[in-house]
Structure 1
Amino acid sequence: MLRPLLQVTAAVSALALIPVASGAMAQVDTASYRQLDMFMEVFNRVKANYVEKVDDATLVKGAIQGMLAALDPHSSFADGLDFDNLKIQTEGNYGGLGLTVTQENGAVKVIAPTEDTPAHRAGIKSGDYITHLDGKFIVGGSLDEAIEQMRGKPGTNITLTVVRPGAEKPLQFTLTREIIVQRPVKWEVKDGVGIININTFTAQTGADTIKAIQEIDKKLGRKPLGYIVDLRENGGGLLSEAIAVADVFLSHGEIVSQRGREKSDIERYYAESMVPGDLARGLPVVVLVDSGTASASEIVAGAIQDHHRGLVMGVRSFGKGSVQSILPMGDRAALRLTTARYYTPSGHSVQEGGIRPDLVVPQISDKDYKERPVIREADLRRHLINNDKVDDNVLEEDTATDPRFSATPEQLKKQGIEDFQLHYALQTIGRLGTKPQVAAKNR
């Protein structure tokens, strides 16, 4: 059975906020019947006159996909491989490369590589375009076919040709497929700070976050100086797990609300519904975000930010503030339909504008960070408009230069700094952690 989730897009390891849907079907009026008559007339004319024979299933599926594409970027019909992708988001492992991809103007575009996978280790990056698989040109083909080619038996090889914006020529990567095991939470201790890296919000993310805190304390034999919650390149997942993770760091108060079509259609979710108290005991918390931080991840960052429980650091997040509901449609098929918007505790909608960090810190250790195009919700066709209207200056702020961060990747590498944002967060926690701490008061 599919669980409710919150995320960005379909993928090789697919990237949605999704609670269970329960509404009744809208009444079909006379005007609707007239439109359906027109649809059937077009359907019959295509069947009778198209240059080649076409089956009913192809036409119906195309009509459904076209109908949903006219709504917003996140409503879709999933069957076959798409349906399998949807299940992988919450419960499955697979043999493949660890790439999350989408299709843009016929090209396969990388949303993000999954950490500790063949694609990630090879250096494939967000924004890359895959043009050839084993030398075969795939631009203009279907996304399903490309995904099926990239998946396969662990231990087998595949060569990807990649066009990277800013690179002088195409790049080639020969990768060995392996079992991609979804590890939603990883942790480590560095400089006395507990680092909790949350990659996705699957069924165990909340429990694994609690376990990470316990293991960090156990390794140190005491509480750390503070915690870094790394949500970079996290496209989202289950709403319930986003609430559970925020609950780990909050002792009380609202975490998120979702609002449907009607003004009265509001659901609110609160801290202490899953975890009693603040398990971090009021210690400093830094939440790392970037343009790949989306949906469920933005719920966690927004709740911690609005309650002044921690410092959000990095660059503006993706900006997906809509809720999708999964409606089963028979065997191996489901409808993913946008049914609500979600809001942070202060009543802020992240749709389009995303979460703006308290401290903007670009990833200057990445030599491509200025050249590589950044895609967010506001760049997607037919995205939902924020009811509060987002200032254009917010959407363009990534182009601004910050004189505080002028070091080059080469200079940072000489200092042993591979991840500048994480380095800066560690320094910040180090400064905060040496000061006397007061018990957390979530405002």
Structure 2
Amino acid sequence: MRKSRKLFLTFIIFSSLLAGIFLGSFLVSQVSATKSPTSQYEKIGILLKVLNYIENNYVEEVKVQDLIYGAINGMLSSLDPHTNFLTPELFKEMKVDTSGQFGGLGIEITIKDGILTVISPIEGTPAFKAGLKSNDKIVKIENEFTDKMNLIEAVSKMRGKKGTPVTIYIMREGLKEPKKFTIVRDIIKIQSVKSSMLENEYGYIRLANFQEQTASDLKKALEKLDNDAQKYQSKSNQMKVGLKGLILDVRNNPGGLLDQAVGVSDLFLEKGIIVSTIGRHKENKDIEYAHKSGTWKNVPMVVLVNGSSASASEIVGGALQDHKRAVVVGTKTFGKGSVQQVIELDDKSGLKLTVAKYYTPSGRSIQEKGLDPDIVVEQLDPKILKEEEQKRVGKKQGWREADLPRHFKGEQKEGQKEEENNNKDEETKPEPQLTQEEIIKYDYQLQQGISYLKSYAIFNQMYALPPKPQAATN
């Protein structure tokens, strides 16, 4: 009796699945009636027979839902790494992602060349503080190798309650064997937009990702920076022109919501195409256009990118680059040029399906190729730059008695030697972490971006056209 009930349940589930498939095939046939899907879907009968045989004969009792979810995962594993099935629990977590808060390590991952790879650690998170880097290969999570995991499974294993540890093993260039990292999970609160003023008249805005409020938060940040610049100009008796330049930083930004990438780009473009998305059927083309209202068109811009700028970041960079609205500075971007649609299924599970590829306004596809910056600037280690500056400053200091050749040694009292040794121990301690001000000061790519904005203003003044002579009137 129990088996018959399970078989009936299986029949109901697959009948619903078949009904959905045939309804979908009917709708597709309205677009293209050249293919008859009947023969393809006859093979679903084989799947149903296998399921039935497993239920009746497998050595242990299994849940029908687990078998069906496993079959779906197997089906999707033959597609691209960004197409995934999400169980109800994972689908709920994914919704939390875009709202900007969840529990975990704080890394964005992908599958690259069949290997689970870090796109970028999120600033200020446990993963960032532990020293994980872009392009790190995650070979093992706890005691389980990752070669058979899809993205969703890997994410679920690294997430968990705040304060609980998780151990991952990393391979990176220069390592002979995987390096072990035990990282304590925390609540990951992603502040999508961070801003600050540089040298009183140049704005700096860092986009960590693209979540639900990114475009509106960016607009607020722009208005504040512009007001701050005008206040400074007013105090220093300058003409109130507002921002003289803007750095938009999307380095280590793994992407996010497509509509937010469009909204961010629209803030700086007053007309033309922002991005085109084209699915399997070329006639299903979606084009997003810029709007004149609310455009910040007169502020010179630099967009900073690197190898961890992906997806939505590349949409923004590509749109501003193609329209000659900003100079893109840094290194080649990640190269994710596909668009995913998330579909909620009847049991609250979800399907994340790659449905289209996106193209920049000029028709370029970023997929696999990445975005080439207008000016290539490699990043330098800010700690090394700080050390070099300290050396230069040190050379300018005056001579002391201790620096003179053949100087007398100072007399030591009891206990002084011990204190001296303690001081030596303190000197061997590792350098403290850079402050936020130092991070900006010794960020080589950022400083180069500021220099380009300043030189733009200088050249504008040097080569400004003289006013046209007025026509004489009789």
TM > 0.5 fold call: yes
Of 119, 125, 144, which aligns to 1:138?
A: 144
Written as runs of structure 1 = structure 2, the 5 A alignment for 1:13-24 is none
The total of aligned residue pairs comes to: 369
2: CA distance, partners of 1:65 / 1:78: 9
Mapped to 1, the partners of 2:362 and 2:116 lie a distance apart of 38
CA distance in 2, matches of 1:169, 1:418: 32
TM-superposition CA deviations, 1:175-216 (whole Å, max 9, x none): 444322121111112234211111111111101111111121
Alignment-mate amino acid for residue 144 of structure 2: I
Q: Does 1:271 align with 2:279?
A: no
Displacement, 1:130?
Answer: 4.9
Matched, 1:167 2:170: no
Aligned residue number for residue 252 of structure 2: 233
80, 85, 90: which one aligns with 1:82:
90
Alignment of 1:142-291 (within 5 A): 147=155, 150-155=158-163, 162-167=170-175, 171=179, 173=181, 175-191=183-199, 192-220=201-229, 221=231, 223-272=242-291, 276-279=293-296, 281-291=297-307
Distance 2:82 2:157 in 1: 24
CA RMSD of aligned residues (A): 3.2
Distance between the aligned counterparts of 1:224 and 1:423, measured in 2? 17
CA distance in 1, matches of 2:24, 2:290: 33
Taking the aligned partners of 1:277 and 1:347, their CA distance within structure 2 comes to 26
> What secondary structure sits across from 2:299 in the alignment?
coil
1:40-99 deviation line (CA, Å, top 9, x unaligned): 233334445555443322221122122222232222211134313321232251233322
Structure 2: segments with no counterpart, 5+ residues: 1-22, 27-35, 234-241, 390-437, 465-474
Higher relative contact order (CA 8 A, sep 6+): 1
Tell me which residue corresponds to 1:384.
none
Paired letter, 1:414: E
Distance 2:457 2:93 in 1: 42
The correspondence for 1:345, drawn from 334, 340, 361, is 361
Query: 1:325, CA displacement in angstroms?
Result: 1.7
Aligned to 1:414: 388
* Aligned residues of 2:100 and 2:191 also touching (Cα < 8 A): no
Residue 330 of structure 1 deviates from its aligned partner by 1.8
1:432 matches 2:448: no
CA contact (8 A) 1:131 1:137 kept: no
Match of 1:380? none
Structure 2 distance, partners of 1:247, 1:106, is 36
Q: Are the equivalent residues in 2 in contact too, given 1:89–1:237 (CA < 8 A)?
A: no
- In structure 2, relative to structure 1, the CA distance for the partners of 1:107 and 1:297 (3 Å cut) is closer
Provide the rounded CA distance (Å) in 1 between the counterparts of 2:152 and 2:352. Answer: 17
Question: Which residue identity lines up with residue 450 of structure 2 in the other structure?
Answer: L
Q: Give, in whole Å, the separation in 1 of the partners of 2:58 and 2:41.
A: 25
One-letter amino acid of the structure 1 residue matched with residue 211 of structure 2: T
Larger Rg: 2
Measure, in 2, the Cα distance between the counterparts of 1:337 and 1:148.
18
Distance 2:48 2:449 in 1: 59
Amino acid at match of 2:143: F
How far, CA to CA, are the matches of 1:433 and 1:121 in structure 2?
A: 38
The separation in 1 between residues aligned to 2:154 and 2:279, in whole angstroms, is 36
Distance 1:277 1:431 in 2: 27
Structure 1: where are the runs of 5+ without partners? 1-23, 367-408
